[in-house]
Amino acid sequence: MNITKQVEQLLKQGDVDIFLAYRELDGHLIPHGYTLDNLEDLENLKVSQHRYSLEKVATHLTEKKPNLKIGIVARDCNQRALNLLYTWNQLSPENITPLMVNCCPSQTRNHSDCTYLEPKKTGTFKQKKGIDFNENPREFMDNNDNGQRFSRWMYEFSKCIKCYGCRNICPVCFCTDCSLENPDLVEPGALPPEIPIFHLVRATHMAGRCIDCGLCEDACPAEIPLRFLYREMNRIVSDVFDYTPGAGLEKSPFTIIGNEVTLEPRPMDA
Amino acid sequence: MTIKRITFVQEMLKFMGLEGRLHLEWISSAEAQKFARVVTDFTEKITHLGPSPIAGQTRSISMEPHENKRRKHEYHKAG
Amino acid sequence: MNCKFVPSVCSYCGTGCGVLFEVIDGKINSTLPLKSHPVNQGKLCIKGWSLHEYINSYMRLKAPLVKENGHFQKATWDEAITHAAKNFNRIKETHGPDAIGVLVSAKVTNEENYLAQKLARAAIGTNNVDHCARL
């Protein structure tokens, strides 16, 4: 059964109130919310090559109407993001119906319909001074000594224009109070940001959250290899905490928000 | 948990090229000698590593502008 | 509940980045870069990312204001335009057309910019026209 029929059925049976997928409009493939009111739009339903974070849209919708039943066309990365949002209680699995589509690594085709399957290109100057997008973090550690690593990262970070694009596009950045907007940590209205602190603050907050979707690297106008950085953070998290964010629904070892106090206050001599 | 978190930050700093500038040790108030030894060792290590390459670059430390910062923040709030 | 995405062009500078507004129940909720846009290719600067904030800002002007006795008073469009035209005519007559300058914006379309320079040159009669995106 093709995806249009499936979505139509889900909507008509009332399994979902709104279905988030893509449509073609003026030559652009853009996200769209399909509902019973605009069933005629369904014939334009597409699975876009370009990926937007539909799960973030779902959290926005849930914020407005908590019991809304949402369907989502999901690739592997969307599914990981959804898992993480379930763990952090941002979405509830009962209200979300993901419809899985062809993705990397695809069982049907080697190269599937995702732009992320084409590796990013790195220019020669960036290779010489900065960091290659496609380098293996382990090789990066072996090939560069402490000072080289530092200067390469500082070159990359110094390009930052502080657009907050990495934070804004991130499907798992849902805190209402962002550390990067705290005037005591990051001075407002000053450019460049304090490097490398600005980026390391974000990297630390991505620990145990980053689901390696690559949207941040794609949205970065300064071409900072963020995915490369967060991938290494994820490796450390999986080594140290034995946890892979988004892999399943197990509880996260990180309790940054919704903190449970495990130590009960009691008298000193008890 | 602390040890795991510190290990994470240590590994992260190592990846950045700022290795060996963070140290974690449990010392009880009864272990004065251990405290002295750990602090001496770490001071020696840090002296050997030299000043941090990012020292002086962080605006909030190197400049005075508490006043300035607050004023800016208020402005942002108002706008 | 209705959710749609509307492609548009960023109104801040002359670059013309493609943006995508997330519209939930008729209200713009957030801004995203348009990934398939040839100009910005899925990237935006901080101003583009916060486009939705000024649309919903409480400080936004929704009616024309005319300053009377040092205070701004709400006025209708007819009143405001008549007031402006009358005073421009007065300045032109007393000090000549070159006493007036026209500054146009990158936030409006090419056509509107063209009309503004036409107004300056043909109606007012001055060459004092400039534009913030004349970088």
ipTM for the complex shown = 0.80
Report the residue of chain A nearest B7, measured CA to CA: A240
Q: What angle do CA A254, A258, A260 make, to 5 degrees?
A: 75
Contacts of C7 in chain A (CB under 8 A): 25-26, 28, 30
C87 three-state secondary structure: helix
Q: What is the mean pLDDT of chain A?
A: 82
Q: Which pLDDT score, from 0 to 100, does residue A189 have?
A: 79
Chain A: give the shortest CA distance to residue B6, in Å: 10
Taking 80 as the threshold, does the pLDDT of residue A256 lie above it?
no
Contacts of A116 in chain C (CB under 8 A): none
Q: Could A161 and C5 be called an inter-chain contact, meaning their C-beta atoms sit closer than 8 Å?
A: no
Q: How confident is the model at residue A269 (pLDDT cuts 50, 70, 90)?
A: very low
- E strands in B29-77: none
Average of pLDDT values for A149-156? 90
Q: Could A240 and B7 be called an inter-chain contact, meaning their C-beta atoms sit closer than 8 Å?
A: yes
Q: Which pLDDT score, from 0 to 100, does residue A104 have?
A: 56
Taking 80 as the threshold, does the pLDDT of residue C101 lie above it?
yes
Burial class (CB in 10 A: 0-12, 13-18, 19+), C71: exposed
Residue with tokens 């101003």: C47
Q: Which pLDDT score, from 0 to 100, does residue B64 have?
A: 47
Q: Which pLDDT score, from 0 to 100, does residue A103 have?
A: 65
Domains of chain C listed by start with CATH number: 3-55 (2.20.25.90), 61-95 (no CATH), 96-135 (no CATH)
Residue boundaries of the structural domains of chain B: 2-78
pLDDT in tens, B17-72: 888 888 898 899 999 999 999 999 999 999 988 888 877 655 544 444 444 444 44
Contacts of B76 in chain A (CB under 8 A): 183, 188-189
pLDDT in tens, A186-242: 888 777 788 788 899 899 888 888 888 888 888 999 989 998 899 888 889 888 888
What is the rounded distance in angstroms from the CA atom of residue A89 to the CA atom of residue A83? 10
CB proximity A181 to B under 8 Å: no
pLDDT in tens, C15-54: 889 999 999 998 999 999 998 899 988 899 999 999 998 8
